[in-house]
Amino acid sequence: MFKTPGPKKTERPDIAGITERIIELSHGKKRTAGTGALYQECKDDISKRLFDEIVRQARREANDESIIELTRIEWKCPGLVWAMDEVEWRNEVVLTIRELTSKYRLLSLVGRKVSGADIAQWLDMLFRRYGPPLVLKRDNGSRLKCREVDELLKEWCIIPLDSPRYYPKYNGSVEQAQSEFQRYMDAELPSAYNESELDKTVRLTGHELNHMNRRSLKRKTACEIFRLGLEKRKEYGLRKRAEVFGRIMEIAATIMVELELTAQRESVYQRAQTARRKAVQYWLQENDLITVTQEGNVLPLSPSKKSQN
């Protein structure tokens, strides 16, 4: 076999990999340590102009996160905001769903093969049993953001809030619940088990965790707090939820105008997700359903503040 003469094929620059390395650098308010040495390593694959733009964007996002780290949210109405996440455990997929005010754990979906359609069906069952939340926070897994789940949330008029890129702490509460659940399951379930034993242990573990007295709940249980919001949740029927959704979209549209000027390097989709997160936090504050504090001080009502919600 003869080789065709001509220039050798060049590999495409790994811009995504370079971006990840930039994100991992130590970012200050005005400078980022280590950029000079990193650029010398990567200069054959990226222009200085693009490299500097990525550094500026990463530094801005890191500083935004530093503000968020000092921000705390007090949830006031149990049942209105849920969060979900999935994790692999003992070759099983575990879907954890947690109500954020009470830390109440809704029944987990556990199975070897779990599809997006399975998750949508499971959520529908929980909505019918407990009443639907107003907002559902979720990570960016393909099964959590699939067509079936999106259609279900639209049908129930539930606002989905997707985690920001590179910021897993956004959904940190439910990730903590995942770790707690796995510790208890490991202690209760033997290494060899059948489906019946797995189902029983999942249910008993959820029950036990929901009936523990917790310091963060002033020594009350998640079950006690979750039940306190029952009457308030009844106020949010489908018509009311549609009104709330419309109001939040109005706020988000206003925020989008600001972001088009201040966050031009983000894609339209990223700006829309940021706007929605801020709009939800604004609406919850506006209706006295959360209190937001930063370094111990209650933040004023403003859609332009950094959003942790």
pLDDT at 55 over 90: no
Do 107 and 206 belong together in one domain?
yes
Domain-ending residue, one of 33, 51, 69:
69
Residue listed under structure tokens 């754990």? 105
| Whole-number pLDDT of residue 304 | 54
Tell me if the pTM is above 0.75. Answer: no
Do 153 and 195 belong together in one domain?
yes
Say if 303 falls within a structural domain. no
Say if 136 falls within a structural domain. yes
| Whole-number pLDDT of residue 14 | 76
Contact 291, 298 (CB under 8 A): yes
Do 42 and 168 belong together in one domain?
no
pLDDT digits (tens, 9 = 90+) for 204-223: 999 988 998 887 888 899 99
Res. 50 pLDDT band, cuts 50 70 90? confident
What domain range includes position 224?
74-233
Res. 63 pLDDT band, cuts 50 70 90? low
Q: Across the chain, what does the average pLDDT equal?
A: 83
How many domains are there within the chain? Answer: 3
Mean pLDDT for 12-34 is 81
Say if 249 falls within a structural domain. yes
Do 114 and 215 belong together in one domain?
yes
Say if 8 falls within a structural domain. no
pLDDT at 149 over 90: yes
The b/e string for 238-274 (b: 16+ C-beta within 10 A; e otherwise) is eeebeebbeebeebbeebbeebeeebeebeeeebbbb
Res. 283 pLDDT band, cuts 50 70 90? very high
Do 256 and 227 belong together in one domain?
no
Say if 54 falls within a structural domain. yes
Mean pLDDT for 16-28 is 82
Do 97 and 151 belong together in one domain?
yes
Do 222 and 253 belong together in one domain?
no
Do 93 and 167 belong together in one domain?
yes
